[in-house]
Structure formats: structure tokens, C-alpha cells
Amino acid sequence: TNDESRSTFRWMANGTTAVQGAVGELLLLNFDNTVNGAAGEKPTVSNGVEFAPGAWESALNLATNGRLAYRSDRNLSLAEGTVELWTSLRHDASDPAYTSHWHVLFIYYASNGDWVGIAEDEEWGYLYAGGVVSGAWQSAWGPGGSMYGWRTGEWHCLTYTYSATGNFMRFYVDGQLSADTCEVRFQRKRGRY
């Protein structure tokens, strides 16, 4: 069977299954000593790729200035979906490396200049999801995404879920909702976005 169709979900309401079924995964990257997707998708760019011990088997470990990119068509729904990844810090969160610049974990650039991504804000140390859509900044950003206290070698799950029809974007850290569809005023004031 195809790895991309093996995952299932179950939504519970008051201890009773409300909805369940197969997850419609478009791009599944396990990074088990390969950058190829579970259905054979190959990257369009692969620079500075290394592998290291992961949460289960191996994990992607991009070198400084490394880059890994895939085609978005058939791999990313822009209307609604979920991007989930597991991450582990190279240094404890208190290290100055995390206050020197913005760290991008995932980013998608559209041909019209819009973009969306998951990143770490160097000023606050928060992980968040956000981007620019039709020239306007949109985000799911908040203190629940703080890396404060994280240590090297610990693994954390980051999940960004979004829906154009539902008009929301939500960001979860280790299964806990950390931010839900917010506009962050200080980011505009700083002028970065």
C-alpha cells in the first residue's frame, strides 16, 4: 500500500467517535535516510542535506544555508490543509543562535508574491505560522509557541492547520493550540512584514 494513505483520523465528541476516516496526505516526508517522499516525490532543490538520529529513525539535518524544496502542485493544497513536522533544536533555546535571525522551518512562495510558512521569531523566541495573502499579513502567533525551556535533543511536534472556507489558521505545539487566527500588531510596527 501507499504510505500516504495509511494514516487515519478519529474526531471524538464527549467520548464518542463523531467522524473517522483516512487522511488525504499529499506529501509525506519521513526523512528515513532519503529526501524522497513516500510516493516517490523527488526534491527540486537539495543542498546541504544530512541525516541524523531522529525521534524514531533518521531525521533531516540541513546544513547552515542548506535548502530542500519540492513542487507544490499535487503536494500542497492552498485552500485548506495541515502541515505537520517534528523538530529538535541544535542548541538549547537560550542559545544566542535563536536571537540572531528569523529561522524558517517550512515556507511556500506563490507566483504572485504571497507566502506562508512556519518559523521562529528571533525577537520573541516564538514558533508560529503565518504569511502574506493578497498583500495582508495573516498569522497564528502567540506565547503558546514559545521555545523557552526547550533543550537540545528534545523532539517537539508542530502542526499548522488552515482553511480558506473556514477562514482560520491554527498553530499547535506538542498537540496544544498555541495560536488561532490572529493579527499581530507589533510585527507591522517593526516593519518586517
Q: What is the pLDDT of residues 100-156, one digit of tens each?
A: 877 888 998 888 888 889 988 888 888 999 888 778 888 888 888 888 889 999 999
Alpha-carbon gap, residue 113 to 85, rounded angstroms: 24
- The vertex-5 CA angle with 76 and 67, nearest 5°, equals 40
Q: How far apart are CA 159 and CA 174, in angstroms?
A: 8
- Would the pLDDT of 17 be above 50? yes
- Structure confidence at residue 75 (pLDDT): 80
**Confidence category of residue 166, pLDDT binned at 50, 70, 90:** confident
pLDDT at position 99 over 50? yes
Question: Angle at CA 161, nearest 5°, toward 57 and 141?
Answer: 100
